[in-house]
Structure 1
């Protein structure tokens, strides 16, 4: 599965990809994203996830230019908690050093570090290597 989300200016602000072999959902974020957009993508995954299993969530903020100041609470304390209830175990965050995406990752880490396995990478290649080489199953 692959789904793109397009803003009112015709620009892609997010892409969701499912990797069934690795029980992973990868979300790519682009440009400036609003809380409404973050919630729309999250709610799509939540609905879609009713018929699919995933234990790994990859949050790719490599190309984001906003800090999610108004989205962190909803995303981490509501959405991630719902997904944990459905089996989410690993959260992988990707962001460049010194970027808005890195700030998002630092905030998410502080909230989620005690709740699940949290991994942070500076580039997508390393993160995806981890996903593809990890023993990923419904139990770990």
Structure 2
């Protein structure tokens, strides 16, 4: 099996996150879409964590290019709750492709300052993000 994919829906039944595990590259690819609520971010982050745990995967490629709006109200939760569990699941590198939406971009800038225990870098280009994840 080369790749497995799931879609995560919000309370209205709309997809807001597509997650795919790429076995060849050993990363979880998470593509966020549209405007998300704080609860959507938490729910989606839990689904990403499940994939890390299931596949014993050391890398995340987090794609926010289609994300709109701010989610900085959950960065503390990400730091204090999600990050330690992701590190425990083996997370080593987190490549974040930034959104062109200024509010979404500001949220990730806040998250980067909180990241510890793994490497996290911000990219505008998908190819550069993938190359960094593949480098050792």
TM over 0.5: yes
SS for the counterpart of 2:18 is strand
How far did residue 96 of structure 1 move? 4.1
Partner of 2:107: 104
Distance, in Å, in 2 between the alignment partners of 1:50 and 1:98 is: 30
How far did residue 19 of structure 1 move? 1.2
How has the CA–CA distance of structure 1 residues 11 and 28 changed in structure 2, closer, same or farther, with 3 Å as cutoff?
same
How far did residue 55 of structure 1 move? 0.5
**Structure 1 residues 101-134: Cα deviation after superposition (integer angstroms, max 9, x where no partner):** 321221111111x432121101223212333x42
Which 5+ residue runs of structure 1 have no aligned equivalent? Answer: 136-140
How far did residue 12 of structure 1 move? 2.1
Contact 2:68 2:101 in 1 (8 A): no
SS for the counterpart of 1:59 is strand
Shifted more, 61-70 versus 90-99: the winner is 90-99
How has the CA–CA distance of structure 1 residues 35 and 125 changed in structure 2, closer, same or farther, with 3 Å as cutoff?
same
Which 5+ residue runs of structure 2 have no aligned equivalent? Answer: none
How far did residue 66 of structure 1 move? 1.5
SS for the counterpart of 1:54 is coil
SS for the counterpart of 1:22 is coil
Runs of 4+ in 1 over 6 A off after TM superposition: none
Contact 1:35 1:71 in 2 (8 A): yes
